[in-house]
A and B are shown apart, each in its own frame.
Chain A
Amino acid sequence: MGALPSTDLEGYELLKDRVQGSLDLLQEGRALDFKRATAWDELKQGIPKDILAMSNLRDGGIIIIGVEESDNKWNRTGITNEQLNTYNPDEMIDHVNKYASPSMTFDVVTHIDNEGLKYLVIRAHEFEEKPFVCKRNCANEIRQGAFYIRPLGKSESREVQSADEMQDVLDLAVDKSVRKFLQRCERIGMLVRVPKEEFEGTKEDNNKFDAELEGL
């Protein structure tokens, strides 16, 4: 197994900021999941659900392994080298792809915080064209044919439970298609940038917008 890349390497600058910011705030969210430090064998059964759900989320999400909950508080514990050595990115991606359709990829990196503790970070990317569907059952964790999501305002991964939740995922896919279609229209001259003066709002409207800003 090759060494896991670190957030200190070139190309991971923004991920490093994001991970360190998340560790400073210690607040889970829709795009952020903490997991206690553990070896791959213990984590592998549940991880496809989280990665599928985060990949169906706009801008994707990150999972940080090495943060433990006790007394309703998150504590940074880090992960041991022994635990870390059980993680192999190729094996992890192969494992998740047993359940993901279409196939996906994600980043697996290590991060050292400002106190010297080490973490494993998984970064799931937002889907490119089609949302990810689960293609195979996995114990009692995930179900073939299901869409997994991170619900609005919550830090859990679960199956779609309502038409509105399904609509959110489909809207994201439609947005991508619409943008591509409009880019094509623009390339062939069907969409032009109209001169600014043709778009100027009325003075009355602009005065109302200015007034509501209260001088800001």
Chain B
Amino acid sequence: MSVDIQALPQKIKDSAHWRVNFRPFTHKTHLQDVVQALDLIKETSVKLRGWPYPFLSDEKDEQILEQNYIASGSDWGGHAEHWRLYYSGQFLHLFQVREKSDERWDKKLREEAEDYILPFIRNKRDLPIPGFINILNLLYNFTEFFEFATRLCSKNLYQEELQISVEISRVKGFALIAQYPKHWIGYYPATADQIAKSWTISPEYLLAKNAELALEGTVYFLSRFGWHNPPIEILKQDQEKFLSGRM
């Protein structure tokens, strides 16, 4: 069954979700036509796990070819996403927090939380946890955002400075969790409903340091959940394995 791509943003924004936005320094035409834009996504999407970042549907009615942008998305397996690539070079991606939207994953995390989080909550009854953020998934997400931006730079979409903004919204009360076999334990809830960070960087710097910038974003978001001393070397090793496709 095909998905109404235009209706997805509202569905996504009504739930816990990520918002990723890349924009070039100046507003001008960076892409000439639909074919160039579609090929660019096909050539640069990051395919390091079960779903590409971003996902371009093969179904023609799940692609939007507008005057000034192309868009696609999906609503499958309990997960909705919608992205747009404007001819101005601006990229926007909205997607649900999969740990919450995928009911099977949410259930599994709740079970693991019994061992790894609940013992650290003083008054369990007064602190229901509305959802979880998997620490490794957070790292993988950031790594995909920056790797995708880097690939767009390599294809000359951004030849001058660009701004990368990442937000996660509707997450007040969500708690960090590390899934087996990681054993990072503790109760680290988001006290704000939205966490955001942006970077303005040159394409050269991004090409050289994309992995480090992704790690920086991860560590910043972890700190906003109250985890101020994450094991950075371990995260770095996990990121290296992820980027080399060996996970």
**A binding-site residues for B, Cβ under 8 Å:** 10-15, 17-18, 20-22, 24, 27, 30-31, 58-60, 107, 123, 125-126, 152-153, 168, 171, 175, 178-179, 182-183, 185-186, 191-194, 196, 199-202, 204-206, 208-209, 212-213, 216
Contacts and interface: CB of A to CB of B under 8 A. Distances in A.
Interface in B32-70: 39, 42-43, 46-51, 58, 68-69
B245 to A, nearest CB: 5
Contacts of B161: 199, 201
- What is the predominant secondary structure among interface residues of chain B facing chain A? mixed
15 contacts: A14-B49, A21-B51, A59-B47, A59-B48, A152-B43, A183-B209, A191-B208, A193-B205, A199-B201, A205-B27, A209-B23, A209-B27, A212-B86, A213-B92, A216-B84
B2 interface: no
Given A175-B151, A183-B208, 16 more contacts: A14-B140, A59-B245, A60-B245, A178-B207, A182-B205, A182-B207, A183-B209, A186-B208, A191-B208, A201-B25, A208-B27, A209-B90, A212-B69, A212-B86, A216-B84, A216-B94
Contact of B208 (A12, A168, A185, A196): A185
B25 A199 contact: yes
Nearest to B136: A13
Nearest to B90: A209
Contacts of A58: 43, 47, 151
A168 B43 contact: yes
B42 to A, nearest CB: 6
Contact of B9 (A14, A59, A216): A216
Interface string B70-114: 000000010000001010101010100000000000000000000
Q: Which 10 pairs between the two chains have the least Cβ-Cβ distance?
A: A17-B50, A182-B208, A21-B50, A208-B27, A199-B200, A14-B247, A59-B47, A14-B49, A199-B161, A205-B27
A178 B154 CA distance: 9
Interface of B: 9, 23-27, 39, 42-43, 46-51, 58, 68-69, 77, 84, 86, 88, 90, 92, 94, 140, 150-151, 154, 161, 163, 181, 199-202, 204-205, 207-209, 241-242, 244-247
Contacts of A125: 244-246
Given A10-B181, A152-B39, A199-B201, A179 B207 contact: yes
A201 B163 contact: yes
Nearest to B28: A205
A31 B49 CA distance: 12
A192 B201 CA distance: 10
Contacts of B201: 193, 199
Given A12-B247, A15-B247, A191 B204 contact: yes
B148 to A, nearest CB: 11
B25 A205 contact: yes
A31 B26 CA distance: 35
A26 to B, nearest CB: 13
A205 B77 CA distance: 38
